Copies of this chain bind each other. A is one copy, B any other.
Amino acid sequence: MEDGVEEQTAKEYVGNEQRFSVRTDLALEARELVGDERSEISGVRYSVRREGDYEVTISVVEVLNEEGEKAMGKPKGRYVTLECPELKENILEAHQEVMEILTRELRRMIPLKDDTKTLVIGLGNRQVTADALGPLAVSGLLVTRHLYAVAPHELKDRIRPVSAIAPGVMGQTGVETGELVAGLTDKVKPDVVIAIDALASRRTSRVNTTIQIADTGINPGAGVGNFRQELSSKTLGVPVIAIGVPTVVDAATIVSDTIEYLQDTMKAQGGIQMHIFQNFSEQEKYQLIQEVLKPNIGDLYVTPKDMDAVAQRLGNVIAGALNMVLHHLEPEELKEYLY
Contact = CB atoms under 8 A, between A and B. Distances in A.
8 contacts: A6-B271, A9-B266, A9-B269, A13-B269, A165-B170, A175-B188, A182-B183, A204-B296
A10 interface: yes
Contacts of A300: 204, 254, 302-305
A304 B296 contact: no
A139 B275 CA distance: 52
A48 interface: no
Interface of A: 2, 5-6, 8-10, 12-13, 90-92, 119, 125, 127-130, 138-139, 143-146, 161-167, 169-176, 179-180, 182-188, 204, 224, 226, 251-252, 254-255, 257-259, 261-262, 265-266, 269-276, 288-289, 292-293, 296-308, 312-313, 316, 335-337, 339
Contacts of A188: 175, 179, 183
**Copies of this polypeptide in the complex:** 4
A13 B263 CA distance: 12
Contact of A306 (B167, B273, B299, B339): B299
What 6 A-B pairs have minimum CB-CB distances, sorted nearest first? A183-B183, A145-B174, A163-B174, A9-B271, A92-B336, A179-B187
A302 B299 CA distance: 10
Contacts of A336: 90-92
A145 B176 CA distance: 10
Nearest to A95: B339
A336 B337 CA distance: 21
Contacts of A258: 251-252, 255, 289, 292-293, 297
A184 to B, nearest CB: 5
A174 B143 contact: yes
Greatest chain B CB density within 10 A among A8, A183, A337 is at: A183
Contacts of A164: 173-175
Nearest to A169: B169
B301 A303 contact: yes
B276 A274 contact: yes
Contacts of A298: 304
Given A180-B180, A258-B293, A303-B303, 19 more contacts: A9-B270, A90-B339, A125-B308, A129-B129, A164-B173, A164-B175, A165-B170, A180-B187, A224-B305, A251-B254, A251-B258, A254-B297, A258-B292, A261-B292, A262-B288, A300-B303, A300-B304, A301-B302, A301-B305
